[in-house]
Amino acid sequence: MAYNPAEFRPCTFHDAVPRFHDAGDTPRAFLERCLETIAAREPAVQAWVTLNQVGARAAADAATARYKAGRALSSIDGMPVGIKDMLQTKDMPTEQGTPLLKGVQTLTDSASVLALRQAGAVIIGKTVTTELGMSHPGPTTNPFNADHTPGGSSSGSAAAIGAAMVPATLGTQVVGSIIRPAGFCGNTAIKPTFGAIHRGERLGFSQSHIGVHAGCLADMWAVTYEMAQRAGGDPGHPGLYGEVSPRAPEKPRRLIVMEAEGWSQTDSATMGAFEGILAQLSDAGVEILRRADSPLIEAFEEGIGDSLALSRDLCGYELRWTLENLIERFGSGLSDSMMARLDLARSMTIDDYRAALLQREAAKRAFAAIDGLADGLISLSSVGPAPLMENKAKDSGVTHTTGLPAYNAATSVLGCPAITLPLLAVGGLPVGVQVIGQAHRDAALTGLAAWVAAAIRPVTV
Quick one: pLDDT at residue 148? 98
Residue spans of the domains in the chain: they are 14-231, 254-460
Quick one: pLDDT at residue 390? 81
CA distance 447 to 140: 32
Quick one: pLDDT at residue 394? 63
The reply to whether 254-460 shares the fold of 14-231 is yes
Does pTM surpass 0.85? yes
CA distance 49 to 93: 9
Quick one: pLDDT at residue 388? 97
Q: Is the dihedral of CA 268, 401, 382, 414 positive or negative?
A: negative
CA distance 256 to 375: 8
Quick one: pLDDT at residue 1? 80
CB atoms within 10 A of CB 417: 30
Q: Which CATH number describes the domain made up of 254-460?
A: 3.90.1300.10
DSSP H or E run through 19: helix 17-21
CATH architecture of 14-231: Alpha-Beta Complex (3.90)
pLDDT digits (tens, 9 = 90+) for 386-406: 999 987 776 656 667 899 999
Phi, psi of 230 (to 5 degrees): -100, -40
Quick one: pLDDT at residue 397? 62
Stretches where the chain sits below pLDDT 70 are 394-399
